[in-house]
Homo-oligomer: A and B are copies of this chain.
Amino acid sequence: MKIVCKNDELISAINIALRAVSSKTTMAVLECLFIEARNGKILMTSNNMELGIKTEVPGRIDEEGQVAVNAKIFSDIARKLPVGNINISVDENYSMFINCGKAKFRIAAQSGNDFPVLPEIKKDSFITISEFTLKEVIRQTIFAVSDNEATKIMTGEHFEINGKNLTVTALDGHRIAIRNIELKKVFDDKDVIIPGKTLNEISKIIEGDAEKEIVIYFSQNNILFELENTIVLSRLIEGKYLNVKQMISPDFDTKIKINKKELMDCIDRATLLVKESDKKPIIISIENSSIRLNMNTSIGTMDEEIDVEKDGNDLLIGFNPKFIMDVIKVIDEDEITIYMTNSKAPCFIRDEKVSYNYLILPVNFSTAR
């Protein structure tokens, strides 16, 4: 194999492919990038058996061939080369020669014959979505995905397509994050669970351009994201997702409208007093046109008042401060509205169009503080 490519273009491709390279594996070949130069295309593939990425490297092929090379070493070298054209060649013993300017590297590589190629999937069922929308949807829900592998279903996000509507749901037993998006046209109904890890990697690969469309193909067990010069293939999580609709209620007895930044700063300060090990609630006392937030731990106490617009009853309610923070961090509006019923019932943070809807369970606390 003999190829020539440009520094920055090689590094961009490596950065994408690295996202599916195994770090902990007993199969050394999964720590490799698999490079094929054939039919006028240079393709770089990585595969950790859950997630696979194939991306094109712009460049010139002087001799076709293939090679698998340790991803970390190859990536480190590529990054440190002087700016210019990089000549990469592989001899019959799979020694790889990397030349750029006056710098000449030789490293050991392998044939890549045992590299697990990405399976082909049927391209009949699909949706299209802009990079921007997909990236936003992931950012606004991914924090609620469970990291407990024991309940596999909750480690993924539910993507449900219904006519023109896409509903994305994540939950972990204490909270639910829902985003409703209107797609640009009607697609076939679909209902899949995509691993949270896959969505995390996808959202790092895509730039979030509102003009660029991604095609997402669905097969029985896999999902394929087709980007500009890259495809990302992932397994789906098997099983039936939880029915969250029955947990969501539009009713409330107390509604407050609050400045997002003030609430965020206040919770930020309150959590200073919480040691990692203990789970202290932030207690919110809603009275008239202000709320008082209180945190009380072994380190000390904090009290703060914030002005709000209130509808309905007064209320004393406690929350895990992290759960509130996770939600308000991803909301773009300056004001948020919180709907509550009583100190034991779930609270909801949602906008009027219900383009987002977050459910958070309150925390029990002793009122004898």
Give A residues with C-beta under 8 Å from B.
73, 76-77, 80-82, 102-108, 265-266, 268-269, 272-273, 299-306
Determine how close the nearest CB of chain B comes to the CB of A47; give it in whole angstroms: 23
Determine how close the nearest CB of chain B comes to the CB of A245; give it in whole angstroms: 39
Question: Does the CB pair B104–A302 fall under 8 Å?
Answer: yes
Residues of B within 8 A of A299 (CB): 73, 107-108
Residues of B within 8 A of A107 (CB): 273, 299-301
Determine how close the nearest CB of chain B comes to the CB of A28; give it in whole angstroms: 14
Residues of B within 8 A of A303 (CB): 103-104
**Docked pose: A73 CA to B273 CA in angstroms:** 8
Determine how close the nearest CB of chain B comes to the CB of A33; give it in whole angstroms: 15
From the candidates B82, B108, B272, name the one contacting A77 in the complex (CB within 8 A).
B272
* Residue of A80, A104, A300 ringed by the most chain B CB atoms within 10 A: A300
**Docked pose: A299 CA to B103 CA in angstroms:** 16
**Docked pose: A41 CA to B210 CA in angstroms:** 57
15 contacting pairs across A/B (C-beta < 8 A): A73-B272, A73-B300, A76-B272, A80-B265, A80-B268, A80-B269, A81-B269, A82-B265, A102-B306, A103-B304, A105-B269, A105-B302, A106-B301, A107-B299, A108-B299
From the candidates B73, B102, B266, B300, name the one contacting A106 in the complex (CB within 8 A).
B300
Residues of B within 8 A of A80 (CB): 265, 268-269, 272
Question: Does the CB pair B305–A77 fall under 8 Å?
Answer: no
Question: Does the CB pair B300–A266 fall under 8 Å?
Answer: no
**Docked pose: A91 CA to B64 CA in angstroms:** 80
**Beyond A103-B266, A103-B302, A108-B300, 5 additional pairs, beta carbon < 8 A:** A80-B265, A80-B268, A103-B269, A105-B273, A106-B302
Known: A81-B269, A108-B300, A300-B108. A305 touches B76 (CB 8 A): no
**Docked pose: A108 CA to B306 CA in angstroms:** 25
**Docked pose: A272 CA to B76 CA in angstroms:** 7
Residues of B within 8 A of A305 (CB): 102
Question: Does the CB pair A301–B105 fall under 8 Å?
Answer: yes
Determine how close the nearest CB of chain B comes to the CB of A133; give it in whole angstroms: 34
